[in-house]
Amino acid sequence: MKCPFCSHSETQVVETRVAEDGGFIRRRRQCGACDKRFTTYERPEVNFPTIVKKDGRRIEFESGKLRASMNLALRKRPVSTEQVDAALDRIEEKLLNLGLREIASSRIGELVMRELKKLDKVAYVRFASVYRSFADIDDFKTLVDEVRR
């Protein structure tokens, strides 16, 4: 592992810890040349299904895009980062457990809406109103009535 400060190729692992959930390993390293310390994370590499968009294009799954869309819906809402992380983990786990090579973007949207509905009703309505492309106010009213029940 190269040192991020001086690019020296010899670094030593000083400390290793397994995350509480066992999902990754955290390693503290020290550079042999400049003696600076830095942290690396070791995670298993997983292959998510390819996303098939409505127009037929195929794109790689990007966790960052999923997080950004959820954060946009949750903007200024009382939901912690830990809750969002847990919801994202559940979505990603479902995607992996499906064992599919490809998945429609609409199915991912449904997974996101299910998680948002558990986290925050306002965020759920925000996301659904954009995701479902409401044609008029009646569609919006129907969704709000559904959430109230």
Q: What is the pTM of this model?
A: 0.64
pLDDT at 132 over 80: no
Q: Is 15 helix (H, G, I), strand (E, B) or coil?
A: strand
Looking at the predicted structure, is the pLDDT value of residue 8 above 90?
A: yes
95 CB neighbour count, 10 Å cutoff: 20
Run of H or E residues at 100: none
Residue pair 75/100 in contact by the 8 Å Cβ criterion: no
CA distance 103 to 88: 17
- Return d(Cα 125, Cα 131) in angstroms, integer: 10
Contacts of 71 (CB under 8 A, 6+ apart): 84
> Is pLDDT at 74 greater than 90 in this prediction?
yes
CA separation for the pair 18, 28 (Å, rounded): 12
When pLDDT is averaged across residues 76-88 and rounded to a whole number, the result is: 93
pLDDT of residue 65: 93
Could you report the per-residue pLDDT of 89-120, keeping only the tens digit for each?
Answer: 999 999 998 889 999 999 999 999 999 999 99
* Predicted local confidence at residue 33, as pLDDT: 96
What pLDDT does residue 131 have?
Answer: 73
pLDDT at 9 over 90: yes
* pLDDT one-digit tens code per residue, 10-69: 999 999 999 877 888 999 999 999 999 999 999 887 789 999 998 999 999 999 999 999
